[in-house]
Amino acid sequence: MRITALSPALLIGVTVAACTGYQTLADPAADLQASPSPVTRARVTLRSGERLELNSPCVSGDSLMGFSVDGAPRHVALGDVTKVQVPKTGKSGTGEFVDAMVLANSDMWTRRTSSGGCPRGRA
């Protein structure tokens, strides 16, 4: 098998392995509540320097609530939070590059012929 036959699969694998970019919320209380789509994950940095990964973060009163990686509920006072980061919604430069390369190589799939060398269905 030629390496060009594997290139789309390799490029898709690079996309999966690409790093996720994060963006810092200026006002976590307002930004989490006003988000047009639900935030599924957040990195939280506390005044003590401790960092938390929260799933399904939300603001309730003066607390930031969510679930830790092991599924335990976590409540943190907003006054103790110094930074909240959420995954970026757009693709990074690496993701866009990989998409372009997959599209550029995708025409090779349509040019393949059957093992007999003749198109099927013709008499």
Query: What is the per-residue pLDDT across 55-77, written as a single tens digit (0 to 9) for each?
Result: 999 998 899 999 998 999 999 99
CA–CA separation, 44 and 52 (whole Å): 5
Contact criterion met (CB below 8 Å) for 4 and 108: yes
Cβ neighbours of residue 113 under 8 Å, at least 6 residues apart? 119
pLDDT band at 118 (very low <50, low <70, confident <90, very high): very low
Integer angstrom CA distances of residue 112 from 103, 106, 119: 16, 11, 10
What tens digit of pLDDT does each residue of 13-59 get? 555 545 568 889 888 888 888 877 788 899 999 999 999 999 999 99
Q: Tell me, what's the pLDDT at 19?
A: 55
Task: Find, among 120, 53, 48, 42, the residue nearest to 86 by Cα.
Answer: 42
